[in-house]
Structure 1
């Protein structure tokens, strides 16, 4: 790292950098949103939107991280990259379809992964000025205040968000929705998987399921849920940073039922009762 960098070469230093980077990207993304730049978009695939602001946000994030930790790897939704022992996993705008249509439900998602463990996770919705951050072992916060998953205990009071991916047959999603509804849950979808995970972490949703999710959409959110007291799937065992995989995150009280309905296993505990890492 450069000798004049204000960030220490450790997890606390990278946490400080993560916050500064995501807030800088937030200013850029919010400017694009307010100026309607996002209304001009192209399509990467079915229901897969791309705007000029996506690329500009990722370029800013990539550049700021490289300025201070040039040896760290980078994996971004738009520009790709390589998975290394120390890698930043970034979605410059998650919920681009919402962004492009003027709906203020989108975010920037940044995770730092070291030796296969998600150590830092940050999610920022600049349109709502909601900033989530978690550091492994230090809890999760929203705008500086500690957050916890919900205390919902019954399925007839639960609200579960279900994401969608074209990599999974529609019939599988329909079966999952049917199984969730049969439990008595409310099922919804708001168009940003990263924000959905943040909402599980702060108790606004009780669980989130996506049968295939890219790592840049979920890495930060999975850590947020864990640090907020939730239960998650073993993402690194079921998939990988490069290829993605199934995602489940839940408040503990309904997690087993959500797991059965989605056929996504939960992370197991070690002999001391500690949840194994996503």
Structure 2
């Protein structure tokens, strides 16, 4: 193993451990969610709780203890640059709306980016006790079982995840869904883009598309999908653009081009 491989493997092991610990912490909040104070951010659908903030604080603190020179980007508290070449990209609770409404479709997402590309992706789903884990060259697993996409799955015989938010007009979302159904596909939205990307890696969905996502929502999922044999749309991994929202597409190679065409037709 080279020095870089060793550094990556060590961080991968830590990411898995921290995602599991953060998931346990978040699950404890979920089980007593009626006691949480819920706030809104951009609109009444964009919610946040003390659980999100405390889980992110925990993750950031643990990373800083072990890798003080690593960068860190979190949904709640922003970006610290770092100097090691590794940046942790974290969504403490992706799917806060399902979380606060008592639904199980939320997760903890932990990614590590190096040279602009996600090299570690771990997603923990506490309500179903699932740990999706991947790293560059290590493959993808679900609860330690290898994941590999099935080329027989396509838009017509499987489900596609579609995401939306108020950065995108309802008319555009409607056109995307209509375009997918015109191609013989069907869609699902569960309130967590990160989780639906994990489902793509696991073969539960054949693809996932959302016109506007942030790095903390998709970096872990991108690593998972790529290491399972899937394809992803480019997401800027450096500079100011890394902190902005961009279209996200990840899919089985069997239908990637069809979904890319759907994206290009609805810009």
RMSD, aligned α-carbons = 1.9
Does 1:193 find its partner at 2:190?
no
For the 8 Å contact 1:163–1:193, the answer to whether it is kept is yes
For the 8 Å contact 1:233–1:248, the answer to whether it is kept is yes
Give every structure 1 segment of 4 or more consecutive aligned residues whose post-TM-superposition deviation is greater than 4 Å. Answer: none
Match in the other structure for 1:108:
108
Q: 1:237/1:176 Cα in 2 relative to 1: closer, same or farther (>3 Å)?
A: farther
Match in the other structure for 2:242:
241
- Alignment partner for residue 74 of structure 1, among 64, 72, 75? 72
How much does 1:16 deviate? Answer: 1.4
For the 8 Å contact 1:86–1:112, the answer to whether it is kept is yes
How much does 1:151 deviate? Answer: 3.3
Can you list the C-alpha shifts for 1:142-197, whole angstroms capped at 9, x where unaligned?
00000122434443213111111222222221111111110010011110000000
Q: With structure 1 as the length reference, what TM-score do the two structures score?
A: 0.87
For the 8 Å contact 1:150–1:206, the answer to whether it is kept is no
For the 8 Å contact 1:37–1:52, the answer to whether it is kept is no
For the 8 Å contact 2:123–2:221, the answer to whether it is kept is yes
The residue matched to 2:149 in structure 1 has which SS? coil
For the 8 Å contact 1:38–1:53, the answer to whether it is kept is no
For the 8 Å contact 2:119–2:135, the answer to whether it is kept is yes
Q: Distance in 1 between matches of 2:154 and 2:125?
A: 30
Q: Distance in 2 between matches of 1:114 and 1:254?
A: 28
Aligned residues: 257
The residue matched to 1:19 in structure 2 has which SS? helix
The residue matched to 1:29 in structure 2 has which SS? helix
Where does the alignment leave 5 or more consecutive residues of structure 2 unmatched?
Answer: none
Where does the alignment leave 5 or more consecutive residues of structure 1 unmatched?
Answer: 1-7, 265-278
Deviates more, 1:216-225 or 1:20-29: 20-29
Q: Distance in 1 between matches of 2:155 and 2:119?
A: 32
Q: 1:169/1:112 Cα in 2 relative to 1: closer, same or farther (>3 Å)?
A: same
- Superposition pairs for residues 1-278 of structure 1, below 5 Å? 10-37=7-34, 40-46=37-43, 47-84=45-82, 85-236=85-236, 240-263=241-264
For the 8 Å contact 1:95–1:107, the answer to whether it is kept is yes
Can you list the C-alpha shifts for 1:84-115, whole angstroms capped at 9, x where unaligned?
53211000000000100110110000111112
Q: Distance in 1 between matches of 2:232 and 2:99?
A: 27
Match in the other structure for 1:270:
none
